Amino acid sequence: AVAQALTEYAALNDPEKGFEAVRDDFEMVFKEYGNTGAGEQARIVFAKICYDASQFDLSYEHYLEALDVYEDQAAMESLLLSALGHVCIAKKDYKAAQSYFKKVEKADGSILKDDALYSLALIADAAGSREKSRALYEKIAAEYGQSLYAPLARSKAGSQQ
């Protein structure tokens, strides 16, 4: 059911139409297979479909449910916390976004620390906290030099001096 829904979603090449086309299919999967590994992975896929269709409340709900399942797996937990942070930015709930990104930054072995720091810097920048955002940009450049965010961070840190 999920593979067929994803094929249909991709064929439409429009996030909003795709969301409408596959929503019922995913709801059936959650009802029938929600407590299985495949059902939980489908939840994450659907959360991203919701996000791309600007269905941010629904995206948040599904990412949060997935986090309950994967909270003991560091890489998945970081991925889901980061996704929740990005959903909160889209919802303009910057305080909640900061909370999620700070959890990613502090997590042991997180593979998304550079993304979290960059997102925190952007939030600080948008709030007018230039000193805080510059410090975060400098930290990215210094500690995550190989990150795709490093050149952006160096540029932003330099423009704030």
- What backbone torsions phi and psi does residue 110 show, to the nearest 5 degrees? -65, 135
Is the alpha carbon torsion for 6, 101, 109, 130 positive or negative? positive
Model pLDDT, residue 4: 93
> Confidence band (pLDDT; 50, 70, 90) for 160?
low
Indicate the pLDDT class of residue 161, thresholds 50, 70 and 90: low
In the block, residue with structure tokens 């495949």: 38
159 pLDDT above the threshold of 80: no
For residue 111, what pLDDT is reported?
A: 86
Instruction: Give the C-alpha separation, 109 to 86, whole Å.
Output: 20
pLDDT of residue 35: 87
**Tally of CB atoms within 10 A around 117:** 23
User: What is the model's pLDDT at position 49?
Assistant: 98
Q: Summarize pLDDT for 98-134 with one digit per residue, the tens.
A: 999 999 999 887 789 999 999 999 999 999 999 999 9
pLDDT over 70, % of the chain: 99
Task: Note whether 105 and 115 are within 8 A (CB).
Answer: no
Tens digit of each residue's pLDDT (9 = 90 or more) over 81-95 = 999 999 999 999 999
- Which residue intervals of 53-91 are DSSP H helices? 56-70, 74-90
Cβ neighbourhood burial of 131 (10 Å; 0-12, 13-18, 19+): exposed
> 42 phi and psi, to 5 degrees?
-60, -35
Beta-carbon count within 10 A of 2 CB: 18
* Mean model confidence pLDDT for the chain: 94
H helix and E strand count, the chain:
9, 0
pLDDT of 158 reads: 82
CA-to-CA distance for 94 and 70, rounded, in angstroms?
Answer: 24
> Mean per-residue pLDDT for 15-22?
97
pLDDT at 43: 96
Rounded-to-integer distance, Cα 48 and Cα 58, Å: 10
One-letter amino acid of 8: E
pTM over 0.75: yes
Is residue 85 within 8 Å of residue 123, measured between CB atoms? no
Lowest pLDDT segment from 39-43, 72-76, 156-160: 156-160
